[in-house]
């Protein structure tokens, strides 16, 4: 394995680093998605925080509750509370508040679900180019060997061609699973975000009821 790495030339180092990044964020996504709550649990948490909002629980206490809940629901609802607190100090209509808050909750949910996927996408695209650079570098070395020693030293030519092929193969070996990982989790993120949307809007409605009551007082 070490010999294979060395024969690949200098471009094997960034390829190795990119593969470690892809694996690390792949494992992180597995851990995150394995911890996602079921829809029943999502409904229970949403109903709980909505009841607290309707009963007049303070914003700071609601934030503490979100911190305790954690994961997708805690992070999204916590961010929603932060945005609501800020918007409440501005002159906004009910519809403006609804659009802004719904957008905040939807973006926060998608950001949580798609976290680090941009890195995996970058890896899947860049390793192919790095492999190509390694290929070009290997061919340059091969031609330089021919120019210097002539065709009488086939080992020099073979070493350059070997470097070219190794980096190409390595880039593809990293790229293919990275693309598969990115596609899989992108689809999972979209599906979960759609499922979450109705509950997020219900949370926003509860906050807007409180805001409307405060405006009427």
Each as own residue / partner, the long-range contacts of residues 98-102 (CB below 8 Å, 24 or more positions apart, any chain) are: 98/204, 98/208, 101/204, 101/207, 101/208, 102/200, 102/201, 102/204
What pLDDT shows up at residue 150? 62
Q: Which residues contact 142 (CB under 8 A, 6 or more apart)?
A: 156, 157, 159, 160, 161, 164
Is the Cβ–Cβ distance between 130 and 11 less than 8 Å? yes
What would the pLDDT profile of 124-179 be if each residue is shown by its tens digit? 999 988 888 877 777 777 667 666 666 556 665 666 677 678 888 888 999 999 99
Mean pLDDT, range 107-135, rounded to an integer: 91
Distance, CA of 54 to CA of 177 (rounded, Å): 47
Residue with tokens 């949307």: 197
| pLDDT over 90 (residue 75) | yes
Q: Which residues contact 198 (CB under 8 A, 6 or more apart)?
A: none
What pLDDT shows up at residue 10? 76
Q: Which residues contact 93 (CB under 8 A, 6 or more apart)?
A: none
What pLDDT shows up at residue 118? 93
What pLDDT shows up at residue 168? 85
What pLDDT shows up at residue 185? 95
What is the rounded average pLDDT for all residues in the chain?
86
What would the pLDDT profile of 30-58 be if each residue is shown by its tens digit? 999 999 999 999 999 999 999 999 998 89
Confidence of residue 63 (pLDDT cuts 50, 70, 90): very high
């Amino acid at each position: 394995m070490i010999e294979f790495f060395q024969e690949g030339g200098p471009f094997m180092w960034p390829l190795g680093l990119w593969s470690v990044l892809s694996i690390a964020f792949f494992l992180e996504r597995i851990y995150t998605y394995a911890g996602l709550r079921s829809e029943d649990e999502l409904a229970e948490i949403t109903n709980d925080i909505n009841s607290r909002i309707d009963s007049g629980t303070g914003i700071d206490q609601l934030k503490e509750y979100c911190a305790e809940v954690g994961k997708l629901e805690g992070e999204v609802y916590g961010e929603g509370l932060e945005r609501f607190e800020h918007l409440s100090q501005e002159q906004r209509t009910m519809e403006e508040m609804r659009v802004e808050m719904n957008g905040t909750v939807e973006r926060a949910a998608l950001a949580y679900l798609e976290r680090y996927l941009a890195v995996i996408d970058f890896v899947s695209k860049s390793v192919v180019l790095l492999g190509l650079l390694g290929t070009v570098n290997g061919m340059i070395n091969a031609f330089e060997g021919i120019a210097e020693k002539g065709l009488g030293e086939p080992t020099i030519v073979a070493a350059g061609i070997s470097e070219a092929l190794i980096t190409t193969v390595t880039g593809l070996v990293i790229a293919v699973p990275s693309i598969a990982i990115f596609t899989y989790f992108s689809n999972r993120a979209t599906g979960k975000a759609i499922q979450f949307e109705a509950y997020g809007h219900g949370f926003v409605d509860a906050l807007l009821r409180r805001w409307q009551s405060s405006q009427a007082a």
